[in-house]
Amino acid sequence: MPFTFDILHRQGSARTGVFATPHGEVETPAFMPVGTLATVKALDPDDLHRAGASMVLSNAYHLHLRPGDELIRKLGGLHHFMGWDGPMLTDSGGFQVFSLETLRTITEEGVEFRSHINGDAKFFTPESVVAIQRNLGADVMMQFDHVIPGQSSEAVAGDAMERSARWLGRCLAAFNQSAATAPFAQTLFPIVQGGIHPQLRRESVSRITDQADWAGFGIGGLSVGEAKPDMYSMLETTDDALPRDRPRYLMGVGFPDDLIEGVRRGVDLFDCVAPTRMGRTGAVFTHDGRLNVKRAELREDPGPLDPDCDCPTCTRFSRAYLRHLFVSEEILGLRLLSLHNVHFLIRLMRTAREHIAGGTFDRWSADWLGRYFATPQLTR
């Protein structure tokens, strides 16, 4: 049965579970690689399987503009189009549209904006965004929400949270109306908003849970400029407020320490472009921080990027070779580093699951963060 969530083990707020979708099961906590334009940049579906990915994310805003969601539907949906047969989630485009800043106008009806590609005028509404995501056919679609900067005042955050709640109602109505004729089995996740204001976060949860029995929840508007302690505090608030028997997806958060801090606070799913974006600049996650492969002292280094890592990059190639690829601007370097970084976060979540199941998560996560932050080569 699709969209069930079974919790297997708990330690404090951290838990392991299995989120079932029409395209398979996701063991949680899990990191989802981001395939913005129907490809996780530089990686193909085989690479994703090798990296251990179970669920991937793509983006309604980007795919609506290029190549078009109607086209993707005509070609059999996003799974078939990009050759990924596992669980998939599409973001609604709320974050992208609100990031356009000067190029958009927000009304209660929706958001008018100009394409970042060719300047074409576009209008997104809760209804149109559901229609786009119906065409794409990912297992999970996200509501259209009003995203605000991380440090927004209570007034601004409250206004946006309330609009997001109203838009959720319209998304749900559009989702339900389209269910009978939809070509793919899907579910709709609401998004908890409220900025860094705990009362607004609690009210957001309340307005969301009043509307339906959701299969899962997005937690939005974090890692968008607020201080880290504020983010962790908001996660504690939502952890307490949200139903515990549904998966929680912390949107756009994907550095290793954030993943561990999120799991500690009851988060089950994460996504972020960081591992692939960093990989394309030569930067990799390691068990003791980060490393840039272009550094001169790696020129003759025969060792792997991270001696603790069993990814296809670390088991086959030396730091010296990877540095050579980057210095020579060889395309293969972009792929091998992206593969390592994605594998790194997926494996980190697998290790977290093992420690939650074994009852050692608190100790392990504290040790892990201590080691990660103790390294002198750490740069952030």
What positions carry a catalytic annotation?
91, 271
Q: Least Å distance between CB 100 and its own copies?
A: 18
Give the residue with the Cβ less far from its own copies, 76 or 225. Answer: 76
Q: Which residues contact 71 (CB under 8 A, 6 or more apart)?
A: none
Q: Least Å distance between CB 223 and its own copies?
A: 25
Residues of span 317-356 touching its own copies by CB under 8 A: 317-318, 320-321, 323-325, 327-328, 330-332, 334-336
Taking CB under 8 A as the criterion, the residue among 118, 245, 300, 380 binding its own copies is 300
Name the residue among 8, 2, 12, 43 with its Cα closest to residue 280.
Answer: 43
By the rule CB under 8 A, 102 interacts with its own copies: no
Q: Which residues contact 309 (CB under 8 A, 6 or more apart)?
A: 286, 287, 315, 340, 343, 344, 347
Task: Give one word for 253, left, alpha or beta, with left for phi > 0 and alpha for psi -120 to 50.
Answer: beta
Q: Least Å distance between CB 338 and its own copies?
A: 9
Distances, alpha carbon 306 to alpha carbons 258, 273, 286, 301, 309, in Å: 20, 21, 5, 12, 5
CB 28 within 8 A of CB 50: no
Tokens of 308: 């603790």
- In the shown chain, the binding pattern of residues 224 to 263 toward its own copies, with x for contact by CB under 8 A and - for none, equals ----------------------------------------
Q: Least Å distance between CB 28 and its own copies?
A: 27
Helical spans, DSSP H, in 180-304: 198-209, 228-241, 256-264, 274-280
Stretch near its own copies under the rule CB under 8 A, chosen from 63-71, 147-155, 190-198, 356-364? 63-71
Stretch near its own copies under the rule CB under 8 A, chosen from 16-24, 72-80, 123-131, 218-226? 72-80
Stretch near its own copies under the rule CB under 8 A, chosen from 6-14, 73-81, 187-195, 229-237? 73-81
Stretch near its own copies under the rule CB under 8 A, chosen from 96-104, 107-115, 130-138, 294-302? 294-302
Give the residue with the Cβ less far from its own copies, 60 or 334. Answer: 334
The label of the residue with tokens 């009003």 reads 146
Q: Which contiguous run of DSSP H or E holds residue 59?
A: strand 56-59
Q: Least Å distance between CB 293 and its own copies?
A: 13
Taking CB under 8 A as the criterion, the residue among 22, 24, 52, 67 binding its own copies is 67
By the rule CB under 8 A, 374 interacts with its own copies: no
Tokens of 175: 């989702």
Q: Could you tell me which residues are beta bridge partners of residue 111?
A: 106, 124
Give the residue with the Cβ less far from its own copies, 19 or 81. Answer: 81
Query: 212 by DSSP, 3-state: which?
Result: coil
Distances, alpha carbon 55 to alpha carbons 31, 89, 216, 273, 349, in Å: 8, 7, 15, 14, 13
Give the residue with the Cβ less far from its own copies, 52 or 149. Answer: 52
By the rule CB under 8 A, 294 interacts with its own copies: no
Report the alpha-carbon distance of residue 60 to residue 102 in Å, rounded.
21
The count of chain residues that interact with its own copies, using the rule CB under 8 A, is 39
Backbone phi, then psi, for 208, in 5-degree steps? -75, -50
Interface positions with its own copies (CB under 8 A): 37-39, 41-46, 66-67, 71, 74-76, 81-83, 280, 299-300, 302, 312, 316-318, 320-321, 323-325, 327-328, 330-332, 334-336
